[in-house]
Amino acid sequence: MSVFSHNEFDNHEQIQFCHDETTGLKAIIAIHNTNRGPALGGCRMWHYASDEEALTDVLRLSKGMTYKSALANLDLGGGKSVIIGDPRKHKTEDLLAAMGRFLERTGHQYIAAEDSGTSVPDLKVMGLETGNVAGITERTGIDGLPCNGDPSPATAYGTFIGLKTAVQYQLDRTDLTGLKVAIQGVGNVGYRLAEHLHEAGAELYVTDIHQEQVDKAVRELGATAVTQNEILSLDVDVIAPCALGAVLNDESIPLIKARVIAGASNNQLAAQRHDLMLRERGILYAPDYVLNAGGIIDIFYERIGHEHNKVRAHIETIADTLIEIFQRADQQDRPTGEIADELAEERFMK
């Protein structure tokens, strides 16, 4: 498997391949950049079709974390880890403990948090073997209620703030009543985003690979269930990708009718050129790593002393960052993702 010549390799500082024969653990840890501080990023567990797919994912995700932390003005670098396997079939406490031991071997250069396929209890098991985990401390959440450490509520709130900002900029409306939003993925973050939108009066269309999540959104939020194949081509105002990445590609973009794309999933663009493709079609793309920074902001404050009001205020600055990106993109007639990357690089490159 090629690494240094891989399409997604971007001067990553460290890549660690992890295997534990006893538990069957197969994992990859990628540290992209630590110029601003230790790399922090989620530990994902997914049933990847191939080792190559897992490597591609961890390289892209770790880079995205560097850019996310920089644009969120945090003293953190970017990293990510992936465990290869079906979290509903292959996850065991022994496997998670083995992952914790590999995390410990990174020194303090990489800190893991929960991600798709992992949970706060999973990270606590890893934490028995290492101090290099975060997002597991019980504290007051951004809503003032008790929180077990799960950063999903903060991620969802930041995404909601970003979506509202994009809608106001592109559609010139502050009232979300009747706004049609298609949410691709209603898991931990997507469902909480749906709750915010429902409370604001939006009309929801949802899909997910797990039918029980769709059924819950239909039952509790009055959402309309649609298939995975049609979610991106619906006649709606906003598409909110909240599942896996690379959904904005050569096949999907020509079918999009929405004028705004604002969601929480990482690496929504299949390739950099799709950023320009969206702009040429008059679709405002709110860069994913700007919108979904709420979780890492929450975890950052957990590490330095959590004050939920300060966290909420910091998350709300996502709106200011987006407006700067949108305005610069229009002034320079350039794609929003390209502008966001440029701003981030100004902050983390030495």
**Which domains does the chain show, CATH number per domain?**
14-136 (3.40.50.10860), 152-292+319-348 (3.40.50.720)
- Does 138 or 323 have the greater pLDDT score? 323
% of the chain beyond a pLDDT of 70: 99
Cα distance between residue 122 and residue 155, in whole Å:
19
State the greatest distance between any 2 C-alpha atoms of the chain, in Å, as a whole number: 57
Residue in 164, 161, 218, 157 with CA at minimum distance from that of residue 188: 157
109-135 confidence digits (pLDDT tens): 999 998 889 999 999 999 999 999 998
Q: For the segment 162-202, what is each residue's pLDDT rounded down to a tens digit?
A: 999 999 999 999 999 999 999 999 999 999 999 999 999 99
Mean per-residue pLDDT, 156-166: 98
Q: What is the DSSP string of 198-218?
A: HHTT-EEEEE-SSHHHHHHHH
The sign one gets for the Cα dihedral 226, 229, 232, 234 is negative
Structure tokens at 242: 């909240």
Q: How far is CA 323 from CA 21, 111, 278, 292, 343, in A?
A: 50, 30, 18, 15, 13
Indicate whether 24 pLDDT > 80: yes
Residue 350 confidence (pLDDT): 65
94: exposed, middle or buried (Cβ count in 10 Å: 0-12, 13-18, 19+): middle
Percent of the chain with pLDDT over 90: 87
Alpha-carbon gap, residue 347 to 69, rounded angstroms:
10
Lowest mean pLDDT among 208-212, 302-306, 314-318: 302-306
- The whole-angstrom separation of Cα 115 and Cα 21 is 24
**Is-contact 35 72, C-beta < 8 A?**
no
List, by residue number, the catalytic residues: 80
What per-residue confidence (pLDDT) applies to 43?
A: 97
Burial of 37 (0-12, 13-18, 19+ CB in 10 A): middle
The stretch 205-219 carries a mean pLDDT of 97
The pLDDT of residue 252 is above 90? yes
Q: With cut-offs at 50, 70 and 90, classify the pLDDT of residue 1.
A: low
* 53 Cβ neighbours under 8 A, 6+ residues apart: none
pLDDT of residue 50: 96
Q: How far apart are the first and last CA of the chain?
A: 30
pLDDT tens figures, 69-109: 999 999 999 999 999 999 999 999 999 999 999 999 999 99
Q: Could you tell me which residue, 229 or 307, shows the higher pLDDT?
A: 229
